[in-house]
């Protein structure tokens, strides 16, 4: 089935596989802010976004390191500490996400310095009305298919605010984009299952609830895998993080339920703390026979950024192939759209 290109084209209407293969181009896209854009003294950064719009901020938790506290808000309400020394970044592909709109109103009332990333909508209107720094995102079939655009845009704002070096970041993104070009070519639809590890892993996951684990540095990739399984494959999935895993969830695997219809995926990286790497090994050893044997995905690349992006891209392909195995078009999330309408009191 996964080697039947006619079947793939019939199901993958939005060409999500093609988008995944070319996502390195999102890192090359040129975003900019007006030359006279400036910010005052900033002591904290808060990023407000939901779903796919929050993923880019999750990546920044791993790379690049920032010299001030950086918090992600997935909520209607904002932290109490926000003030005029907070850079508040609101992001939404639609520009109409209600949680984010509520949060930006609260941030403005506290005098925060506001920047906006959106594909239009009410957030773009807000930026125009209040003369806020604004970056317009290219159109995307779904936010989760264009996370690297969002990351790229976020980095432009962080550069303007003086928290990352423009030349260094540009060089890192160029290198990472080239690395993704090479990596994703090996997982393309035209590569047969026998030589395609993404197709092979998707076959292992059919009919199972997926639990994805990562260490602190690769947790953003693990979280992206969870979202991709949920939205692309329409398959339930969870995510966890080591070392916290060993303080609670570790025991949960040991007894109940006796029958465990799960698939466990460990996303490993040589850039994680040595003790975190050891925890993966010891956990697998002590839980042997109590949970499904972990399917280990070892990150590739020369640095933390490449490891994270390699894992993210590989997970995209695995989830898309799993959607095709489930007989589904990976692109639409109709139930989410229905939920939004019902929540707003609309008839559906």
Q: What is the pLDDT of residues 52-109, one digit of tens each?
A: 899 999 999 999 989 999 999 999 999 999 999 999 999 999 999 999 999 999 999 9
Cβ neighbors of 286 (< 8 A, separation 6 or more) are none
| End-to-end C-alpha distance for the chain, whole angstroms | 35
Residues 219, 225: Cα–Cα separation, whole Å: 10
CATH 3.40.50.10490 correct for 196-325:
yes
Residues 288, 275: Cα–Cα separation, whole Å: 20
The pLDDT assigned to 249 comes to 96
The superfamily in CATH containing domain 14-177 is Glucose-6-phosphate isomerase like protein; domain 1 (3.40.50.10490)
62's tokens: 């791993």
The per-residue pLDDT for range 138-187, each reduced to its tens digit, is 998 898 999 999 999 999 999 999 999 999 999 999 999 999 999 999 99
Helical ranges in 44-146 per DSSP H: 52-60, 98-109, 121-130
For the four alpha carbons of 66, 69, 74 and 75, in that order, the dihedral sign comes to: negative
Three-state secondary-structure class, residue 141:
coil
Residue 87 CA to chain centroid, in angstroms? 22
Q: What is the mean pLDDT of residues 275-301?
A: 97
Contact 108, 68 (CB under 8 A): no
pTM: 0.96
Contact 273, 215 (CB under 8 A): yes
The per-residue pLDDT for range 117-141, each reduced to its tens digit, is 999 999 999 999 999 999 999 998 8
* 196-325 and 14-177 share a CATH fold: yes
**Residue 238 bridge partners (DSSP):** 211
The pLDDT assigned to 347 comes to 82
The pLDDT assigned to 324 comes to 98
Domain locations in the chain as residue ranges = 14-177, 196-325
DSSP run (H or E) holding 9:
helix 5-11
Q: Is the pLDDT of residue 348 over 90?
A: no
Angle between helices 166-185 and 147-160 (to 10 degrees): 170
Residues 318, 179: Cα–Cα separation, whole Å: 18
The per-residue pLDDT for range 222-277, each reduced to its tens digit, is 999 999 999 999 999 999 999 999 999 999 999 877 788 999 999 999 999 999 99
The pLDDT assigned to 260 comes to 84
In terms of Cα–Cα distance, which of 151, 176, 210, 170 is closest to 24? 176
């Amino acid at each position: 089935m996964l080697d039947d290109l006619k079947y793939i084209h019939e199901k993958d209407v939005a060409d999500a596989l093609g988008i995944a293969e070319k996502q390195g181009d999102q890192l090359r896209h040129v975003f900019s802010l007006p030359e006279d854009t400036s910010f005052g003294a900033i002591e904290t950064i808060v990023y407000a976004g939901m779903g796919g719009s929050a993923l880019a901020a999750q990546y920044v938790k791993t790379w690049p390191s920032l010299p001030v506290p950086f918090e992600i808000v997935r909520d209607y309400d904002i932290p109490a500490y926000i003030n005029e020394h907070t850079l508040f970044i609101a992001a939404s592909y639609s520009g109409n996400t209600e949680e984010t709109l509520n949060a930006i109103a609260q941030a403005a009332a506290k005098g925060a310095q506001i920047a906006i990333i959106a594909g239009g909508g009410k957030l773009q209107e807000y930026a125009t009305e209040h003369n806020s720094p604004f970056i317009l995102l290219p159109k995307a079939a779904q936010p989760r298919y264009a996370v690297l655009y969002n990351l790229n845009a976020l980095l432009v704002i962080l550069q303007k605010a003086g928290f990352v070096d423009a030349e260094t970041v540009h060089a890192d993104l160029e290198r990472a984009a080239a690395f993704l070009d090479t990596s994703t070519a090996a997982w393309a639809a035209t590569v047969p299952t026998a030589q395609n590890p993404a197709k092979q892993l998707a076959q292992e996951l059919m009919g199972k609830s997926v639990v994805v684990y990562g260490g602190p540095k690769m947790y953003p990739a693990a979280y992206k895998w969870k979202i991709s399984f949920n939205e692309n494959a329409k398959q339930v999935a969870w995510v966890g993080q080591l070392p916290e895993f060993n303080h609670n969830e570790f025991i949960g695997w040991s007894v109940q339920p006796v029958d465990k219809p799960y698939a466990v995926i460990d996303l490993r990286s040589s850039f994680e703390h040595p003790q975190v790497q050891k925890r993966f090994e010891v956990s697998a050893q002590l839980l042997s026979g109590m949970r499904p044997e972990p399917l280990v995905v070892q990150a590739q690349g020369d640095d933390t950024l490449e490891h994270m992006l390699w894992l993210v891209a590989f997970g995209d392909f695995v989830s898309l192939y799993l959607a095709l195995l489930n007989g589904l078009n990976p692109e639409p999330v109709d139930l989410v759209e229905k939920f939004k309408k019902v929540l707003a009191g609309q008839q559906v």
